Amino acid sequence: MNPPTLLDSEGGVLARHQAALNEGRFLIQRCSSCARAVYFPRELCPHCGHAELAWVHPAGTGTVYAVTTVRRKLEAGGDCNVSLIDLDEGVRLMSRVEGVPSGDVRIGQRVQARVVQQNGQGLVVFDLLAAEGAGA
């Protein structure tokens, strides 16, 4: 019989991931068994089923994989960029690219993560990496 698994006093991975973001830190996971990066955070590895997932700081660099502009009236907040970003560690997340009009965001552009506080919650957004240029 397996020994009982102890609860983490800080809660599940969703809460711990958010708590780090609220302190300005963006964390992803890496599986201790198969070594693959994991995002969004899981209690077990979706690749191999292993339970030991270590928190790691990603480089924060990535590439725009897909992009849309949600067209909204000004009173509803105005147009809003929604992008899927592939981090260099090999995981994908939904986010938005800030600092440029949404229509200027292109698939293949290199981006850098930044944590902002929105409605009292830490949130990962991205900026274009100008030095590396556009297109990929």
Partner 1 sequence: MNGLKSLRGSAAIAGVATFGCGEAPGYSDMELLANAARAAVADAGLKMSDIDGLCTASGAATMWAMPVVEYLGIRPSYIDGTMIGGSSFIAHLLPAMQALQSGQCNAVLVCYGSAQRTATFGRREVVASRRFLDPQPYETPYEPMQPLSAYALAASRHMHEFGTTRRQLAEVAVAARGWAQRNPEAFMREPLSIDEVLGARMVCDPLTVRDSCLVTDGGGAYVLVRADRARDLPNPPVYVLGNGTAVWNRQISSMHDLTVTAARDSGRAAFAMAGLAPKDIDVVQLYDAFTINVLLFLEDLGFCAKGEGGAFVEGGAIGPGGRLPVNTNGGGLSCVHPGMYGIFALIEAVRQLRGAGGERQVAGVKTALAHGNGGTLSSQSTAVLGLEETL
Would you say 1 or 74 has its CB closer to partner 1? Answer: 74
Instruction: Report the alpha-carbon angle 36-58-81, nearest 5.
Output: 105
Closest approach of Cβ 123 to partner 1, in Å? 5
Closest approach of Cβ 1 to partner 1, in Å? 33
Would you say 93 or 111 has its CB closer to partner 1? Answer: 93
Residue 64, classified by CB atoms within 10 Å of its CB into exposed (0-12), middle (13-18) or buried (19+), is: buried
Closest approach of Cβ 5 to partner 1, in Å? 23
Would you say 50 or 71 has its CB closer to partner 1? Answer: 71
Provide the binding-site residues for partner 1, judged by CB under 8 A: 14, 18, 40, 65-72, 77, 80, 82-84, 92-96, 103, 107-108, 118-119, 121, 123
DSSP sequence for 39-99: -S--SS-TTT--S-EEEE----EEEEEEEEEE---GGGT--EEEEEEEETTS-EEEE-EES
Closest approach of Cβ 67 to partner 1, in Å? 5
